[in-house]
């Protein structure tokens, strides 16, 4: 199945939030995909173009994904171990590192850090 069909099927699930951030000129500058599993929201991807980072786009997309699923009590994600900027960003949003994971993707070893954040009053 083509990647576009996989993403389309994923996006069309009622338990999936897909958000797009745009610049004032209506350029797409970021995306987020999150999957709701009862009280857990798993953020599968969050990307903001480098020239638009540190302008609040990532934080807003994260907040919108939580608002899309009011039952969310905990948010979980994985970030590459070798991505200190990403890890720092998530820590700034209140995430803590809760574990590590190693995947072998076609002979390439990928190490990631699992991070979580508890939501006390999600709205």
- Weakest mean pLDDT among 11-25, 38-52, 105-119: 11-25
- Nearest-CA neighbor of 53 among 75, 30, 32? 30
Q: What is the pLDDT of residues 23-45, one digit of tens each?
A: 999 999 999 999 999 999 999 99
What is the reported pLDDT for 12?
Answer: 73
Helix (H) or strand (E) holding 77: strand 74-80
Split into its structural domains, the chain has a count of 1
Residues 6+ apart with CB under 8 A from 92: none
The maximal CA–CA distance of the chain, rounded, in angstroms, is 43
Residue 42 lies in a domain: yes
Domain encompassing residue 106: 3-118
Q: What is the CATH number of the domain that holds 110?
A: 3.40.630.30
Q: Given pLDDT bands bounded at 50, 70 and 90, which one contains residue 2?
A: low
The pLDDT of 40-59, averaged and rounded, is 95
* The token pair that represents 92 in the structure block: 């700034």
| Under 8 Å between Cβ of 65 and 43 | yes
Structural domain includes residue 64? yes
């Amino acid at each position: 199945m083509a990647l576009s069909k996989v993403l389309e099927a994923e996006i069309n699930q009622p338990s999936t939030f897909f958000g797009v951030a745009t610049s004032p000129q209506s350029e797409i500058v970021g995306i987020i995909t999150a999957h709701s599993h009862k009280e857990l929201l798993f953020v599968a991807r969050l990307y903001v173009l480098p020239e638009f980072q540190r302008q609040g786009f990532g934080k807003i997309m994260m907040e919108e994904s939580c608002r899309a699923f009011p039952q969310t009590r905990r948010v979980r994600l994985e970030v590459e171990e070798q991505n200190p900027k990403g890890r720092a960003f998530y820590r700034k949003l209140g995430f803590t590192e809760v574990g590590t994971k190693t995947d072998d993707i076609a002979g390439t070893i990928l190490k990631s850090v699992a991070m979580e954040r508890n939501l006390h009053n999600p709205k």
